[in-house]
Amino acid sequence: MSHIATILEVLIDNQLVANWKKCQFGAVSIEYLGHIISTNGVSADPSKLEPMSSWPTPRNVKELRGFLGLTENYRKFVANYGTIALPLTQLLKKGSFQWSEEAEEAFQCLKSAMVSVPVLGLPNFNEPFVVETNA
């Protein structure tokens, strides 16, 4: 509680305000940008994964784009995402949408990979570490 009081004092001293609708104090876990952050680490939000796992077989390019758009946010957590999705992304080329057994296999494999994304561990804040970003 003393840390929270210190942070709030710094905000007041700098004439800044907190949006109380977006604040959570004493929570065991929080949802942030489609992820759940807890003492166990960072994992995908199950409510975001459910639409992927229940997505019906695409019948046209628009439906396939919708599915691939959903999976895009978690692609970096899935090993070989590009390789798995390749048969599907090739169907996005103009005039080449022809659902096949290979496409169905890739679709089911990608759905399975999406719902089993790993929990990412938090760094040990007592040890030095490097944060790299492309932003």
Print the SS3 string covering 13-40. Answer: HCCCCCCHHHCCCCCCEEEECCEEEECC
Contact by Cβ (8 Å): 85, 92: no
Instruction: Judge whether residue 119 has pLDDT over 60.
Output: no
Residue 79 half-sphere exposure toward CB, CA atoms < 13 A:
2
Tell me, what's the pLDDT at 43? 80
Question: Could you give the percent of the chain with pLDDT greater than 70?
Answer: 94
Could you give the CA distance from residue 73 to residue 67 in angstroms, rounded to a whole number?
11
Mean pLDDT of 41-52: 83
pLDDT at 102 over 90: yes
Q: What is the mean pLDDT of the chain?
A: 86
Q: What percent of the chain has pLDDT over 90?
A: 37
Question: What totals of helices (H) and strands (E) does the chain contain, helices first?
Answer: 5, 3
Task: Please tell me the predicted confidence (pLDDT) of residue 118.
Answer: 65
Mean pLDDT throughout 51-60? 91
Read off the pLDDT of each residue in 77-97 and give the average, rounded to a whole number.
Answer: 89
Q: Which of 73, 67, 70, 65 is nearest to 92 (CA)?
A: 65
Radius of gyration for the alpha carbons in the chain, expressed in angstroms and rounded = 20
